[in-house]
């Protein structure tokens, strides 16, 4: 599970203008249309092609829980691509992104200052360049660790250093033990 990647995805999904299909038959038909055939959908969902065909014809209505979760995730990943792109672009160029987190944050600082990790609850508005970096990294397949490092760097510069007005000698912020993480556009 990717906390930051999933959080970014949920933030973008809030921009949808229409709800994604809810029932299995409609979801399956949507995926078949998007991927151009039942074979591709079957391979992606790790089920047989015949199973996909039966959902498309509404011969099966209720998927088992693991298939239902995969089906919903894949539909939402492809739903309203222009709206998704517009929301990402707006966050990356003008609006920025808000991060709300409760996590253990620590930092590397010069000797004499306290650099002990502690749980903090932060709600910070990140400027557009940080949203752009997070979305770009996510699109390029960054790992959860890489996304956490980018988020920690953004918090270091915006929250801890206040855009260069304080804590100038702060070297690194560590972002671990995430209890809660949510993004808002």
Determine contact, residues 24/14, Cβ cutoff 8 Å. no
Model confidence over 63-96: pLDDT tens digits?
A: 999 999 999 999 998 999 999 899 999 999 998 9
The predicted structure's pLDDT at residue 119: 84
Determine contact, residues 10/136, Cβ cutoff 8 Å. no
pTM, to two decimals: 0.77
At a CB cut-off of 8 Å and minimum separation 6, what does 6 contact? none
């Amino acid at each position: 599970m990717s906390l930051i990647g999933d959080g970014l995805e949920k933030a973008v999904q809030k921009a949808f203008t229409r709800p994604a299909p809810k029932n299995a038959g409609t979801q399956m038909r949507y995926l078949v249309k998007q991927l151009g055939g039942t074979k591709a959908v079957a391979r992606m969902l790790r089920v047989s092609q015949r199973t996909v065909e039966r959902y498309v014809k509404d011969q099966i209505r209720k998927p088992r829980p693991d298939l239902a979760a995969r089906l919903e995730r894949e539909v939402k990943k492809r739903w309203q691509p222009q709206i998704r792109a517009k929301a990402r672009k707006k966050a990356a160029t003008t609006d920025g992104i808000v991060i709300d987190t409760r996590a253990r944050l620590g930092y590397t600082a010069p000797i004499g200052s306290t650099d002990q990790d502690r749980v903090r609850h932060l709600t910070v508005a990140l400027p557009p360049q940080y949203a752009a970096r997070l979305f770009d990294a996510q699109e390029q397949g960054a790992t959860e660790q890489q996304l956490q490092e980018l988020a920690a760097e953004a918090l270091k510069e915006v929250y801890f250093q206040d855009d260069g007005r304080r804590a100038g000698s702060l070297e690194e912020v560590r972002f671990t033990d995430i209890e809660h993480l949510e993004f808002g556009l």
